[in-house]
């Protein structure tokens, strides 16, 4: 197979914005119930959930290569041999941050996997499992050996972007008509936030005796494919039943700029981490590795192939990272790592913003009232403990 690394085209493995079935429309344009008065219906842009087979295969293989990289590092007897700033150095830091007992268990499990026959490694890690652990070139170079052709990925990317561009043009025309006819003229939104409202300790963890010191952070992926690490910040020290409530409108945990020219609608995404102090180093280092995955995928370089559809390409590129990282999060946490039931599993949230006009975010249409969405409660239940995190999406002018 041809390598897909050339000219950055390997990043073209993406989650489809719309179906790539040639007999169907790329996206569907439907309407919501009246928002302000009889006869006014807000157009709705609905993304398809399916992946093109070529693109799904690529996203999966990138994820498997990442997991193999982590396993090889965990199985290594001697550390501090990785280049500063590399994905491998971040993963090494994550492994070394684990408490001693759990780290020993993890390393033992990884060593058993490394000693498995090739067919067992391929079953667990995909095509890169054929590479012997002692010959592993690092994740960046290993991605050259993914078995998806550059031509197939490039053509799938072109088709996806073309369909999305056409569908968004139709949506924009319908939205402009709706805004002009049905809404009061007013300002445009400048940013969207995912705000933290409240954290509640339902039950303490069994890490150690005493209070839990809880930290929160994550990764944000914006509509233009920009991937940003949101550093962990302390919430509070909790006893069972304690909670911390943030003043209205909540603490701005994730912030997404909306002043650019990318076509609407726009989808913003976040990965939310919750960690107790003793485990915060593991989660923090792992976040850094996830962000570097986006760099390895050459987002902007891949989109150079599709000029002038730059912004639409960037949005599609954001979806591959989202698909790959979600596979990593829920694949290795729940299956590969033996300590998967001892770590607060990260959770993902996303929102589709319909348009620029601030008046779109009021009146109840699409769940928006007073420029905010209803509260979304995430439950983190691990280590014998249970915490709930209340957040909401909000836009501002």
Ramachandran angles phi, psi of 276, nearest 5°: -85, 150
Please list the ranges in the chain whose pLDDT falls under 50: 1-36, 338-342
Overall size of the chain counted in residues: 397
**Torsional class of 45: left (φ above 0), alpha (ψ -120 to 50), beta (otherwise):** beta
E strand or H helix that includes residue 47: none
**Residue pLDDT, tens place only, 352-370:** 999 999 999 987 788 999 9
At 242-284, the pLDDT tens digits run 999 999 999 999 999 999 988 999 999 999 988 877 555 777 7
From residue 220, alpha-carbon distances to 102, 152, 262, 393 in Å are 28, 29, 18, 13
Q: Compute the distance between CA of residue 397 and CA of residue 382 in angstroms, rounded to an integer.
A: 39
Helix or strand or coil: residue 177? helix
Query: For the segment 25-47, what is each residue's pLDDT rounded down to a tens digit?
Result: 334 444 343 344 556 888 988 77
Bridge-partner residues for 348, per DSSP?
271
Q: From residue 76, how far is each of 88, 118, 137 by CA, in Å?
A: 12, 18, 14
pLDDT over 90 for what percent of the chain?
A: 31
Q: At what angle do helices 53-75 and 100-114 cross, to 10 degrees?
A: 120
Which H or E run contains 348? strand 347-353
Helices (H), the chain: 53-75, 87-96, 100-114, 118-125, 139-142, 150-182, 277-296, 299-303, 310-331
pTM, 2 dp = 0.82
What pLDDT score does 37 carry? 52
User: How high is the pLDDT of residue 7?
Assistant: 29
Angle between helices 53-75 and 118-125 (to 10 degrees): 120
Please report the pLDDT score of residue 301 as a whole number.
63
């Amino acid at each position: 197979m041809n390598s897909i690394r050339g000219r950055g085209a390997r990043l073209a493995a993406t989650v489809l914005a719309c179906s790539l079935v040639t007999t169907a429309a790329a996206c569907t344009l439907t309407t919501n119930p009246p928002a302000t008065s009889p006869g006014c219906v807000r157009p709705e842009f609905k993304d398809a959930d399916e992946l093109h087979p070529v693109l799904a295969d690529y996203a999966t293989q990138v994820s498997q290569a990442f997991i193999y990289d982590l396993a090889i590092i965990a199985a290594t007897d001697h550390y501090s041999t990785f280049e500063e700033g590399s994905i491998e150095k971040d993963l090494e830091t994550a492994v070394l941050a684990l408490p001693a007992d759990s780290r020993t268990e993890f390393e033992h499990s990884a060593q058993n996997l490394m000693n498995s026959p090739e067919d067992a490694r391929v079953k667990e890690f995909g095509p890169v499992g054929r590479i012997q652990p002692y010959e592993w070139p690092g994740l960046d170079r290993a991605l050259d050996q993914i078995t998806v052709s550059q031509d197939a990925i490039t053509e799938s990317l072109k088709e996806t972007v073309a369909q999305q561009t056409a569908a968004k043009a139709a949506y924009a025309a319908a939205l402009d008509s709706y805004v002009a006819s049905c809404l009061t003229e007013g300002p445009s939104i400048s940013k969207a936030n995912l705000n933290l409202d409240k954290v509640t300790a339902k039950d303490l963890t069994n890490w150690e005796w005493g209070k839990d010191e809880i930290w929160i952070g994550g990764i944000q992926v914006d509509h233009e494919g920009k991937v940003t690490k949101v550093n962990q910040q302390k919430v509070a020290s909790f006893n069972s039943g304690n909670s911390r409530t943030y003043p209205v409108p909540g603490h701005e945990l994730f912030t997404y700029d909306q002043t650019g020219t990318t076509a609407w609608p726009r989808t913003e995404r976040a990965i939310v981490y919750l960690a107790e102090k003793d485990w915060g180093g593991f989660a923090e280092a792992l976040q850094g590795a996830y962000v570097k995955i986006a760099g390895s995928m050459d987002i902007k370089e891949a989109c150079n192939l599709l000029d002038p559809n730059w912004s639409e390409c960037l949005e599609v590129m954001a979806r591959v990272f989202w698909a790959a990282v979600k596979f990593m999060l829920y694949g290795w946490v729940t299956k590969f790592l033996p300590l998967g039931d001892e770590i607060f599993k990260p959770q993902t949230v996303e929102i589709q913003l319909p348009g620029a006009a601030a008046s779109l975010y009021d009146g109840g249409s699409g769940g928006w009232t007073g420029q905010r969405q209803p509260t979304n409660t995430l439950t983190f239940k691990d280590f014998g403990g249970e915490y709930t995190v209340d957040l909401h999406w909000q836009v501002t002018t």
